Structure 1
Amino acid sequence: MNIHQLSLHHDVLHDRLLLRINTTAHQELRVWLTRRLALGLQPHLERLGVDIMAPQATAQTPVHSEHTRQMMAEFKQQENLGK
């Protein structure tokens, strides 16, 4: 499944989020995220963000501590929000 478009809508009345995912094959997936579910997913999504945004260790890039990786991911997230 290749994602073409993401949409997130807040339903104030029911206090939940509707995540809509459109694919390049013109399919749509709708997922309701309640507050409880979103709070349960939050630490996992933050960890995923750290893993994706932190540079891979190579000969030129030293292995960073977990705290440093977290700080780098937060910095990158703030940088992206500022754009």
Structure 2
Amino acid sequence: MTVSLESACDDDSWKQEITKFWDMYLPRALSVRNGYTDLGSEVGSIVCGYEPEFEEVEQIASSFDQFLDKIMKNSVNFSSF
């Protein structure tokens, strides 16, 4: 979140959007392997965000149980982590 807020500089509207997103989002894993990447949950679903726009996320699974199931089936691409 700090990186995103620093990028917003003096744009208060953008800062509010960033803060609103992170208030609803729980990071579960962070990586710097291929640039900054985060894996987290957003209102029950599992999502992934990449730098520089961490708030533009891609849904990985619709629930934590589905995420675990995908891991067991080796269908989650962790190459970007």
TM-score over 0.5 for the pair? no
TM score, norm. by length of structure 1 = 0.31
When normalised by structure 2's length, the TM-score is 0.32
In terms of fraction of residues, the more helix-rich structure is 1
Whose relative contact order is higher, 1 or 2, with alpha carbons under 8 Å and at least 6 apart?
2
User: Of the two, which has the highest radius of gyration?
Assistant: 1
